[in-house]
């Protein structure tokens, strides 16, 4: 049986009207409130945001579900979560402005 407190790392791709609507700041604040580490950034594609989130499964599932709605101005069309194997240990949560 797996431990739900085990630290996991996920990559989320959020598609839709998610750039220029405050999505990264909204996501960052939510991640911090859930105790998640990692980062969020716009993708070169105008309709995608990428997030790397690291933490317990309960918090990862919570932010993944909330990302399907996003902030008021966003129009999320889909959230694609992928469990990734990473040796990187993130400390804190940041917004990246460069791709």
Give the CATH number for residue 44: 3.30.70.100
Assigned domain for 44 exists:
yes
**β-pair type (48-55, 37-42):** antiparallel
* pTM for the predicted model, two decimal places: 0.92
The one catalytic residue among 5, 37, 42, 99: 42
Mean pLDDT of the chain: 93
pLDDT of residue 98: 65
Q: Considering only CA atoms, which of 20, 98, 11, 18 is closest in space to residue 63?
A: 11
Q: Using CA atoms, how far apart are residues 45 and 54, in angstroms rounded to an integer? A: 24
Domains contained in the chain, number: 1
Residue 35 lies in a domain: yes
* Within a domain: 23: yes
Look at residue 2 and tell me if it is in a domain.
Answer: no
Annotated catalytic residue 83: no
Q: What is the domain extent for residue 90? A: 8-96
On the question of pLDDT at 99 being above 60, the answer is no
Helices (H), the chain: 23-33, 57-67
- Whether 95 and 23 have beta carbons less than 8 Å apart is answered as no
Residue 46 has pLDDT above 90, yes or no: no
Backbone phi, then psi, for 47, in 5-degree steps?
-115, 30
Whether 42 is catalytic: yes
Instruction: Spot the catalytic one: 11, 24, 82, 99.
Output: 24
């Amino acid at each position: 049986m797996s431990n739900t407190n085990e630290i996991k790392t996920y990559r989320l791709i959020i598609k839709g009207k998610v750039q220029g609507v405050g999505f990264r700041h909204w996501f960052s604040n939510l991640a911090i409130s859930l105790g998640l580490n990692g980062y969020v950034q716009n993708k070169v594609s105008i309709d995608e945001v990428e997030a790397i989130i690291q933490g317990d499964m309960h918090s990862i599932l919570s932010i993944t579900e909330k990302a399907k709605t996003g902030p008021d101005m966003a129009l999320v069309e889909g959230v694609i979560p992928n469990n990734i194997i990473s040796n990187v240990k993130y400390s804190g949560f940041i917004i990246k402005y460069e791709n």
